[in-house]
Amino acid sequence: MPPVSIRIEATDGDARVGRLLTPHGVVPTPLFMPVGTYGAVKAMAPDELSGMGYRMVLANAYHLALRPGARLIEELGGLARFMGFDGAVLTDSGGFQAMSLARLNSITDDGIRFRSHLDGSPLMLTPEGAVEIQQQLGSDVMMALDDCTPYPADHGRARASLELTARWAERCLRARQNTDQALFGIVQGSVYADLRRLSASQITGLDFDGFATGGLSVGEPKAAMREMAALTVSMLPASKPRYLMGVGTPADLIAAIGMGYDMFDCVLPTRNARNGTAFTSAGRVSIKQAVHARDERPLDERCDCRPCTSFSRAYLRHLYHAGEILAARALTEHNLYYYSRLMREARAAIASRTYRAFAAHALELMASGREEQGDHV
């Protein structure tokens, strides 16, 4: 029995609803993971996440290895205990940071040579080292080290990237020692259909516990992202978890669930909240706009989260412009509640075989409720 597995309970077209079985409990799928890069989801306490229905969060092995150190976290009982989170944890390996912090690193066949963004100290992250760090962190799901292909990349660069990812994937599997932790492989290939097929063939031919689609939502056109996401998921085994990495607008999640993905993560709900933007059933709301200065309505009249039942848009706008921490907390709580509710509603729609109607209605509401453009102050 693998350490992490999925049990599909119902399908509607390609969409599927089930349960992800992990060492730290059962997680309903489709699921969205809030991003807690440094072992904390910004502005939210672990019990608040649990109260909103989150049973799994994402953290980053590269950043935690730099500070406070994977060994220290291991000594203190592992990442979930260190965080005080009563649920499962997935750790990203650091492959994305090789792209996002490209000015601080170089990539060879051996691995990624970083210069710490904190103090400039060197860090050589090999596939074996990435697995060792994640084993020390004690995450339920470890991600194989990959070469996250940037966009744009020509066909030759993308081909070299996926070949390197495949070689590193084999090394990650050989390096794994703790069979109580799952290890997922990552498919690359940029926006080239032939390379996506090649990478999927290589990665799914290896004995991973689950599979992820990587290298999307990195600057490519939306249509290309969705085309490659749909193509890739069609080649991933239905018997194992399918994870779409880093894709996370509500509309994209609705589309990807319909493709057959089970797992998602993205910084959008938390990052946008700190920048004054809320996701609502009627589309995005920028609380910074002057049009909200005297608006007594909640962020989302269809939402029963604590901020929506307690605060007006006028008050939240005041808090944001006053620089009050409560603005970030309230908007973050609302956004994460909204994402959790979206997952619950999607699961219910799949189970009742009404997902297509649910998706069309949700997208129609988002499109028809675009807020009026006010003056920014």
How many residues are recorded in the chain? 377
Task: Say if residues 44 and 52 touch (Cβ distance below 8 Å).
Answer: no
Q: Which of 92, 140, 146, 300 is catalytic?
A: 92
3-state secondary structure of 344: helix
- Whether 265 is a known active-site residue: answer yes
Strand partners, 117: none
Helix intervals (H) in 84-215: 95-100, 127-137, 155-175, 193-204
Q: Which of 147, 262, 265, 300 is catalytic?
A: 265
What are the angstrom distances between the C-alpha of 123 and each of 69, 170, 187, 193, 315? 12, 22, 25, 34, 46
Cβ neighbourhood burial of 151 (10 Å; 0-12, 13-18, 19+): middle
- Which string of b and e fits 274-293 if b means at least 16 CB within 10 Å? bebbbbbbbbebbbbbebbe
The helix/strand/coil state of 57 is strand
Query: By the 8 A CB rule, do 36 and 67 touch?
Result: no
92 classed as catalytic: yes
The token pair at 142 is 């470890």
* Residue 79, H or E segment: helix 79-83
Concatenated DSSP letters of 243-300: EETT---HHHHHHHHHHT--EEE-SHHHHHHHTTEEEETTEEEETTBGGGTT--S-S-
Q: Which pair of tokens denotes residue 159?
A: 């081909």
Residue 203 zone, left/alpha/beta (φ > 0; ψ -120 to 50; rest)? alpha
Query: What residues are annotated to the active site?
Result: 92, 265
